Structures are given as structure tokens and as C-alpha cells.
């Protein structure tokens, strides 16, 4: 059914409820986090219908959740969150994770200032572009055997560090310390292996990027200081995932689950929501392969970090460092324990285009940040602001410890390329002081700032709704894209 404005009940300035009674197959309500202006964009695509469809999943608990950067995706909306009960028939759905498993973001901090870096930004961007392969299908310089790839699937970023691509302290500030338990290389087929084998240390295409940025504003000085951030500091944001490896894993298991749904008598309004019980043979195989893909993604970002550090030192001197502040993922399904209706439950949380945002005290947060809350990294659209947030209590109470993941598209890639804004995007960005390198013209045209929502408006929602708090706003100086 088409969701119209009259189907939404306004709870407050930043929350809108789609009650379960609007469709007989809904097992729970859908809750949308948005301001009135952002709601206008949501009603233009099928994302709210997808949030309603997610509310029909077997074993769902809590609400079907939609973050303010929500937009139409495969099965789940991008920006969709849902938890299921594994021990009570709850399902796992690859559409609730996405094709780019563990697409994520990591933030590196330098000791240099804007004034020191700006004169050499072109040189820096060119060096980064030379050292980090970017674009669809690009291969990197790291050569793996199949046996080594199996170790990457299990050990993630730690394998890269062990091979000299980083420092042991990097792992202490990665979500899951850079490797999630339960990965099963045997659940990964031959095609994902072939696609992933040459792609470690590569950026990819689409919305993936590496940006040299500076800290334009600090909102919470005490938290920023603990994160090691200060005004006018130059930082680097890396946005990439599991490349062709994770994409093929998702593709393979969607086919398997589409056939398996009939065996489990699961009926849903959208085939893209293909799913199976978590404890089924197919469900366990997918989770093992998904975790292997997630670990590949952490290894990939670790390798990119290594090459970025090398490039930075070539331009600014061998004594310069890029300290890893944090690494978060925003396409994953995780077994977690959460309080639901006053009772602690084991749940499988699907976060698709959504970021974990635990508040202070959770044991999953690295020791260095546990008293503050988990760092949350929110990339904006090319040429606009990015944000560092910190997890807040409201997320744990309402969203299984989750917040947004970015600005969210309002224009398809095809529409972006055809729009008048794509014609002179490189020149317009340079006028703003942002220098861009890309493998192709389309790589820039697809990602024009006008193709995305206003990231400041998205952050305003999650901040004021109590899901996460603003710590710092970052502005770009240089961008490399596929």
C-alpha cells in the first residue's frame, strides 16, 4: 500500500508513527525519525512502504525503525533498523544488511592544522589518489592466497596489522576490534572469493570516498578532547566496505533464501525481503558468510588506512602520524542483548544504513571511550559537512542503540548525472575550497551535493531526538572518489 501523509501520526517534533492497524499483516508499528521538512522527501519514494513491509517480518520485536536519512533500498529502506527474536522464530534478512556488507567509516586524526595543510592539499589529494586504487572493479597491490583470504575472513583488521598494515592500537578503537566472531569461511562460495581476492586496500565506487577534512566546529569540548579532536585540526575520513566480496555474498544468499522461504512457509509482500529463521541451516550459513564479509571490510579499511598514512607522510614529512579515532560499520546484523518492555532479550539487530550509537557504560565500547559513549561518524555528501557524534541514552531506550549513518539520497544516481548541477560540479566544489580527484566523471556527477538531503537537518533530528549528540562538525578540503 502507498503511505500518504495521513497515515502518519505525529508523536512529537522528530517522531512519526505509522500504526500497525493500517495493514493487517503488520506485526508492529513503524517509527520514523524526521523533521517536517525531511518528511516531504520521505513521501516521494517507497521508503516508508518498505518500513511498513519490514514490520511484517516474522519474529520482529520493538518497532520497525526509520532513521532521518532513510531512502529507498533493496527490501529494507536504507536507514532502516529492525530487531528479531532468534529463539522465537525470528528471521534474518540479507536485505536488512544490504549488498555492501559492513560498509563503514573510519576517522583518522593528524596533528596538523588547516593552515599547514591547505597549501599542499592538491599535492596531498594526488598522492592519495595514486596510492589508493579507486573505482568499480579496481584491484590493489596486496596479493593474497586463498589460504590467506580465509584468515582475513576470520581475523579481519588484525590480520592486516599482523602483516604490517597498521599498529596494534588501531584495533582497540574499531567496532568489534576489527573482527566480529562467528565468521565461517566455509559458508562463502567461490565467486565472492574470486571477486574479493584482489580488492583489499581499494576504495570502490558509488558513495565511497576518502576525504581530507578539518574540524570546523566543536560542540562538546570535553568529549572532543577525549576523542583527540580540536578546532582547525586536519583529519581524514574513509568510507568503504567489503567491495565485490560482500556484494556477491549478499547476491548468493538472496537466491538461496528466496527458494527457502517456501519451505518455512514465510510470506511477505516483497520478494526483496527474502528471509529465513535465524536458527535455520540457511540462516546460520548466511550469518557466517556475512560476518566473513564484515571482517573483509574491516581488513580493507585497515589497508586503506596504511596507504593513506604513507601518502600523508610523503607530502607532510615522515614524522607525521594519522591516529585512528574510531571505525564504525553501518550495514550489518548483530546478535545483541537489549531491554525490551522492561525485559532483557537476545535479539538480532539489522542495521542497514544505520550506525550503532551506544551511550556511556556499555562494555562493547572501547575502554578509552567507555565513560563518554561510543564515537559515531556520519559522512555528509561530497563538499558538505560530516559529523562526529557520541552515542546517547535515547538510542538504547528506543532504537536498539542506533542512529543515522549519513545524509541520505534524494536523487538517484541516474537523475544526478542528468541534472544541471552535474555539469560543473568540480568547478563549484573548487570555488568552495574542495579539491576532487575521481577515476571517472560519473564518479563525481553521481555524488553531487544536491543528490543528498541536508546533513545538518539529519543531524538535528538525531541530536534533538536523543539518539546521539553532536561533538564536532568537519568540513572537506580534498576528496578522492571512484
Highest mean pLDDT range out of 430-439, 440-449, 471-480? Answer: 471-480
Nearest to 324 by CA among 140, 127, 156, 166: 166
pLDDT tens track for 345-367: 999 999 999 999 999 999 999 99
How much is the pLDDT for 109? 98
The better pLDDT of the pair 451, 363 is held by: 363
pTM (two decimals): 0.96
Q: What pLDDT is attached to residue 448?
A: 78
Q: Which CATH class is domain 5-481?
A: alpha beta
CB 61 within 8 A of CB 84: yes
| pLDDT in the model for residue 62 | 97
Q: What is the pLDDT of residue 196?
A: 94
Per-domain residue ranges of the chain: 5-481
Give the tens place of pLDDT for each residue, 72-89. 999 999 999 999 999 999
- The grid coordinates of residue 330 equal 553501518
**Span of 99-113, 192-206, 230-244, 311-325 with lowest mean pLDDT:** 192-206
Q: What is the mean pLDDT of residues 374-395?
A: 94
Which one is catalytic: 7, 338, 405, 463?
405
Tell whether the model's pLDDT for residue 451 goes beyond 80.
no
247 catalytic residue (yes or no): no
Overall average pLDDT of the 440-451 stretch: 78
Residues 461-482 pLDDT 10s:
999 999 999 999 999 999 998 7
pLDDT at 65 over 90: yes
- What is the tens place of the pLDDT at every residue in 138-172? 778 899 999 999 999 999 999 999 999 999 999 99
Amino acid at each position: 500500500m502507498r503511505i500518504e501523509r495521513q497515515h502518519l501520526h505525529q508523536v512529537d517534533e522528530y517522531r512519526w508513527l505509522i500504526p500497525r492497524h493500517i495493514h493487517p499483516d503488520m506485526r508492529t508499528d513503524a517509527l520514523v525519525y524526521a523533521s517536517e521538512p525531511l518528511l516531504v522527501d520521505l513521501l516521494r519514494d517507497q521508503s516508508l512502504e518498505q518500513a511498513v513491509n519490514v514490520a511484517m517480518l516474522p519474529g520482529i520485536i520493538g518497532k520497525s525503525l526509520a532513521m532521518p536519512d532513510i531512502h529507498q533500498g533493496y527490501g529494507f529502506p536504507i536507514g532502516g533498523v529492525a530487531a528479531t527474536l532468534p529463539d522465537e522464530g525470528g528471521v534474518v534478512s540479507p536485505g536488512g544488511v544490504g549488498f555492501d556488507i559492513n560498509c563503514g567509516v573510519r576517522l583518522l586524526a593528524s596533528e596538523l592544522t588547516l593552515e599547514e595543510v591547505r597549501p599542499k592539499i592538491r599535492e596531498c589529494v594526488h598522492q592519495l589518489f595514486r596510492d589508493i586504487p579507486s573505482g568499480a572493479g579496481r584491484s590493489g597491490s596486496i596479493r593474497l592466497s586463498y589460504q590467506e583470504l580465509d584468515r582475513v575472513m576470520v581475523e579481519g583488521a588484525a590480520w592486516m596489522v599482523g602483516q604490517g598494515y597498521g599498529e596494534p592500537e588501531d584495533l582497540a578503537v574499531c567496532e568489534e576490534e576489527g573482527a566480529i566472531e562467528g565468521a565461517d569461511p566455509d559458508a562463502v562460495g567461490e565467486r565472492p572469493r574470486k571477486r574479493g581476492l584482489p580488492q583489499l586496500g581499494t576504495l570502490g565506487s558509488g558513495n565511497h570516498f576518502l576525504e581530507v577534512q578539518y574540524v570546523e566546529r566543536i560542540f562538546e569540548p570535553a568529549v572532543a578532547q577525549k576523542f583527540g579532536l580540536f578546532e582547525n585540526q586536519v583529519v581524514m575520513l574513509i568510507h568503504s566496505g567489503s567491495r565485490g566480496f560482500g556484494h556477491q555474498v549478499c547476491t548468493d544468499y538472496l537466491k538461496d533464501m528466496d527458494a527457502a522461504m517456501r519451505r518455512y512457509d514465510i510470506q511477505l509482500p516483497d520478494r526483496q525481503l527474502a528471509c529465513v529463521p535465524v536458527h535455520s541451516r540457511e540462516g546460520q550459513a548466511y550469518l557466517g558468510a556475512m560476518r566473513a564479509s564484515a571482517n573483509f571490510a574491516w581488513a580493507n579499511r585497515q589497508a586503506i588506512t596504511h596507504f593513506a598514512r604513507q601518502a600523508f607522510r610523503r607530502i607532510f614529512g615522515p614524522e607525521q602520524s594519522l591516529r585512528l579515532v574510531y571505525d564504525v560499520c553501518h550495514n550489518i546484523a548483530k546478535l545483541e542483548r537489549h531491554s525490551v518492555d522492561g525485559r532483557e532479550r537476545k535479539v538480532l539487530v539489522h542495521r542497514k544504513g544505520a550506525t550503532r550509537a551506544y551511550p556511556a557504560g556499555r562494555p562493547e565500547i572501547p575502554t578509552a571511550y567507555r565513560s563518554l559513549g561510543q564515537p559515531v561518524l556520519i559522512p555528509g555528501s561530497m563538499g558538505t559537512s560530516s559529523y562526529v557524534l557520541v552515542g546517547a541514552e535515547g538510542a538504547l531506550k528506543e532504537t536498539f542503540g542506533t542512529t543515522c549513518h549519513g545524509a541520505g539520497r534524494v536523487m538517484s544516481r541516474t537523475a544526478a548525472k542528468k541534472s544541471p548541477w552535474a555539469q560543473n560540479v568540480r568547478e563549484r566544489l573548487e570555488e568552495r575550497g574542495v579539491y576532487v580527484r575521481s577515476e571517472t566523471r560519473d564518479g563525481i556527477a553521481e555524488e553531487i551535493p544536491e543528490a543528498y538531503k541536508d546533513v545538518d537537518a539529519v543531524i538535528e533530528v538525531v541530536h534533538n531526538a536523543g539518539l546521539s549528540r553532536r561533538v564536532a562538525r568537519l568540513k572537506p578540503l580534498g576528496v578522492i572518489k571512484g
